């Protein structure tokens, strides 16, 4: 019986392979200096393709040119190592164009391994889309519902990243004052803080950084109240 030759990559020590994966999986993004899987929504239906469907579906990974899928398809061992590294080290980042109504269905297309490895999730935030046409507008309630879905689907999810797009952060003069944006930050911070998630807000204007302290105080008060009721 002919012996199946081992991939040259697997002859390397694991620590060297992990360094190669880190280099190969480096997909540049325009949002922050950290590895992201930037998910966009380009259609109304998913494409199921067996065990590789998560990276070849619509929604798609913005900027990924096929290197990741090529690595995933080499063989089972490399697939498992790459999948483990990819979802453990990258933040799953949803653009504003991604419909959060489909979040649960999207997560269900990921393998059980991927869902268990994901620890960090992020959102692109458009607070005010003004009069621009074709720009999706999410409500704050949608983020709260998304947080509950993520908690159900991702057992090891521990941190959330909010990218506050400066183009859509402040309201127009006709809508109201800048405190409206601060209320949005406060809402997200209190809701996800109550879920006990580590939070990061990127591009948060300095005039609104105090909101994070206020949100932390509210969360702490809520936790103390819960503990006191538990002892009654």
151 within a domain of the structure (yes/no): yes
40 within a domain of the structure (yes/no): yes
14 within a domain of the structure (yes/no): yes
Chunked into runs of 10 residues, the chain (232 residues) has average pLDDT values of: 64 91 91 94 53 50 84 86 93 94 92 95 90 79 97 97 92 74 93 95 89 84 61 51
15 within a domain of the structure (yes/no): yes
55 within a domain of the structure (yes/no): yes
Indicate the SS3 state at residue 135: coil
Containing structural domain, residue 94? 6-229
pLDDT at 175: 67
pLDDT at 58: 54
pLDDT at 42: 66
Phi, psi for 83 (deg, rounded to 5): -60, -45
pLDDT at 91: 97
1 within a domain of the structure (yes/no): no
Report d(CA 151, CA 149) in Å as an integer: 5
68 within a domain of the structure (yes/no): yes
Phi, psi for 121 (deg, rounded to 5): -130, 145
Give the number of other CB atoms < 10 A from CB of residue 222.
Answer: 13
50 within a domain of the structure (yes/no): yes
Total of domains in the chain: 1
The pTM for the full model equals: 0.83
Write the CA distances from 32 to 55, 85, 87, 93, 123, integer angstroms. Answer: 21, 20, 17, 11, 12
pLDDT at 50: 45
pLDDT at 230: 54
């Amino acid at each position: 019986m002919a012996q199946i030759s081992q991939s040259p990559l697997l002859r390397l020590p694991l620590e060297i392979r992990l360094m190669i994966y880190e280099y190969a999986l480096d997909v540049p993004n325009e949002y922050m200096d950290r590895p992201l899987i930037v998910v966009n929504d380009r259609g109304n239906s998913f494409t199921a393709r067996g065990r590789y469907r998560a990276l070849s579906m619509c929604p798609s990974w913005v900027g990924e040119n096929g290197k990741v899928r090529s690595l995933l398809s080499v063989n089972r061992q490399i697939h498992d190592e790459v999948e483990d590294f990819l979802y453990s080290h990258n933040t799953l980042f949803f653009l504003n164009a991604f419909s959060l109504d489909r979040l649960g269905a999207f997560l269900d297309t990921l393998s059980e391994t991927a869902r268990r490895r994901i620890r960090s999730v992020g959102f692109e935030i458009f607070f005010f889309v003004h009069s621009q046409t074709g720009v999706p507008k999410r409500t704050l309630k949608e983020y709260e519902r998304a947080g509950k879905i993520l908690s159900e689907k991702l057992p090891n999810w521990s941190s959330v990243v909010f990218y506050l797009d400066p183009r859509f952060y402040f309201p127009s003069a006709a809508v109201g004052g800048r405190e409206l944006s601060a209320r949005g930050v406060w809402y997200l911070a209190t809701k996800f803080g109550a879920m006990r998630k580590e939070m990061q807000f990127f591009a948060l204007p300095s005039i609104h950084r105090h909101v994070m302290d206020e949100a932390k105080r509210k969360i702490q008060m809520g936790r103390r109240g819960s503990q006191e009721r538990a002892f009654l």
